[in-house]
C-alpha cells in the first residue's frame, strides 16, 4: 500500500502531519514495517488505521495492538498514581497559600462584577425591546 499527500489531505489529516509527511517522504511512501517503525512516534497510527485500512485490516490491527495498548494504559495509570501521591502535599500547600489572595481578589472585584452584570442585563433588556 502507498500513502500519498493527496490521500492524507482527502481524509482530513491535520496540517502538521501533512507537512511532516511531505518533509520526510515527499509526495508518497510505500508502507513497509521498517518505514512505519522508523517514524513510529512521529505519526498517528490510530488515525491512519481508521482512515486507510479496510474493515478486516483494521480489525486485525486492533487485535494486534490491544496487548501493547493495555500495557501502556497500565503503565500510565501506575505513573499517574505515583505522580499524584508525590505532588499531593505540594498541591495542598499551594491551595492553602493562595486562599487568602483569592479571597482578597473576590472581595475586590465583587462590587464591579455585580455592577457589570446589572449593566449587561439592563442593556440587553433595552436592546431587546
**In the chain, domain spans:** 1-52
Q: Which three cell numbers stand for residue 64?
A: 494486534
What one-character DSSP code corresponds to residue 1?
-
Q: For a pLDDT cut of 90, what percent of the chain falls above it?
A: 99
Beta strands in 20-91 (DSSP E): 28-30
Taking the model in full, what pTM does it have? 0.64
pLDDT at 114: 95
Show the low-confidence residues of the chain (pLDDT under 70): none
Q: φ, ψ for residue 39 (rounded to 5)?
A: -125, 30
Per-position b or e across 50-82, b if 16+ CB within 10 A of its CB: ebeeeeeeeeebeeeeeeeeeeeeeeeeeeeee
pLDDT at 129: 84
Amino acid at each position: 500500500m502507498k500513502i500519498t499527500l493527496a490521500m492524507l489531505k482527502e481524509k482530513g489529516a491535520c496540517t502538521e502531519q501533512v507537512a511532516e509527511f511531505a518533509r520526510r517522504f515527499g509526495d508518497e511512501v510505500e508502507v513497509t514495517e521498517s518505514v512505519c517503525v522508523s517514524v513510529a512516534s512521529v505519526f498517528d497510527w490510530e488515525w491512519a488505521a481508521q482512515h486507510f485500512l479496510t474493515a478486516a485490516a483494521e480489525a486485525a490491527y486492533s487485535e494486534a495492538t490491544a496487548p501493547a495498548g493495555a500495557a501502556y494504559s497500565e503503565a500510565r495509570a501506575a505513573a499517574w498514581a505515583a505522580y499524584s501521591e508525590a505532588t499531593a502535599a505540594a498541591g495542598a500547600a499551594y491551595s492553602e497559600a493562595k486562599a487568602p489572595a483569592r479571597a482578597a481578589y473576590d472581595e475586590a472585584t465583587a462590587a464591579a462584577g455585580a455592577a457589570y452584570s446589572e449593566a449587561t442585563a439592563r442593556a440587553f433588556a433595552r436592546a431587546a425591546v
